DNA sequence: CAAGAGATCATCT
DNA sequence: GATGATCTCTTGA
């Protein structure tokens, strides 16, 4: 099957123009997964309609030794999914308001994940506007809590298999865009790990979180 | 525009 | 009982 060219077929008009990522993608080293996710597409099929966004910002949480990673606190009910096989969603609730979407990486028993921090809205924009109660395109999904709200992602999706679910990542044939690596956001408590440049941001995207 | 506070609850001590 | 992989609104320059 020939991959559709973005120049001929505007991807935004379709929800099935790419290839769903396989488990082998998620089984790679977490930092590599985080980088390669840039320019891929987050797809959420939903009774109210599909939502699609181009991933422009990610963070890697690399394992139990990483003090910013929830799994550094041990294996608990919350972190259980990260200890399982790659390619599942780890969704948790924080600050009493927001859900965070992570993709579990690497082998079973190596707890690690990539946090999706921002996407550029592509399809289902009206749906996102309704869910966010907000009009401005740039603010719909430019943050990990915002994008979960825009895509109706909550803890009911925790543990979902991204290789066999209504939530998945699609490759639309776009090469990994130019990106910048910076320290992760909001992990000042993580000792020397707070300075690791595990946040990856697409250069010249106006849809990244503003920090 | 930058800085600060408040909102609110699941999770772990 | 404290805190957090956040966001939004208010305040003041």
- A3-29: per-residue pLDDT in tens? 444 333 444 445 568 999 999 999 999
List CB-based contacts (under 7 A) with strand B: A 73-74, 76-79, 92-97, 155
- Which nucleotide across the nucleic acid strands is nearest to A140, CA versus C1'? C7
Q: Are A105 and A27 in contact (CB under 8 A)?
A: yes
Res A15: pLDDT: 55
Q: Is the CB of A61 under 7 A from strand C?
A: yes
Smallest Cα–C1' distance to nucleotide C6: which residue has it?
Answer: A145
Spanning CA of A190 to C1' of B10, the rounded length in angstroms is 21
Q: How far apart are CA A9 and CA A17, in angstroms?
A: 9
Res A12: pLDDT: 45
Summarised one tens digit per residue, pLDDT across range A59-90 is 999 999 999 999 999 999 999 999 999 999 99
A113: left (phi over 0), alpha (psi -120 to 50) or beta: beta
Q: What is the DSSP string of A163-207?
A: TSSSEEEEE-SPPPPPEEEEPPTT-TTSGGGGGS--EEEETT-TT
Spanning CA of A11 to C1' of B9, the rounded length in angstroms is 39
pLDDT-derived band of residue A31, with 50, 70 and 90 as boundaries?
very high
Residue whose C-alpha is closest to residue A116's, from A204, A207, A47: A207
Q: How far apart are CA A143 and CA A184, in angstroms?
A: 13
């Amino acid at each position: 099957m020939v991959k559709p060219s973005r120049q001929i077929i505007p991807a935004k008009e379709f929800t099935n123009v790419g290839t769903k990522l396989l488990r082998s993608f998620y089984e790679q080293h977490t930092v590599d997964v985080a980088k390669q996710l840039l320019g891929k597409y987050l797809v959420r099929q939903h009774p109210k309609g599909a939502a699609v966004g181009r991933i422009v910002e990610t963070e890697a949480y690399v394992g139990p030794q990483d003090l910013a990673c929830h799994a550094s606190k041990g294996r608990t009910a919350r972190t259980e999914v990260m200890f399982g096989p790659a390619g599942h969603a780890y969704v948790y609730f924080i600050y009493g308001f927001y859900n965070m979407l992570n993709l579990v990486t690497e082998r079973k028993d190596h707890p690690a994940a990539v946090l999706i921090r921002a996407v550029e809205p592509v399809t289902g924009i009206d749906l996102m506007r309704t869910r966010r109660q907000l009009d401005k395109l740039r603010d719909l999904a430019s943050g990990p809590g915002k994008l979960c709200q825009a895509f109706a992602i909550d803890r009911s999706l925790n543990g979902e298999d991204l290789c066999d679910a209504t939530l998945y990542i699609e490759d639309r044939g776009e090469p990994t865009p130019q990106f910048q690596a910076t320290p992760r956001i909001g992990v000042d408590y993580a000792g020397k790990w707070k300075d690791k440049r595990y946040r990856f941001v697409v250069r010249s995207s106006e849809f990244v979180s503003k920090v």
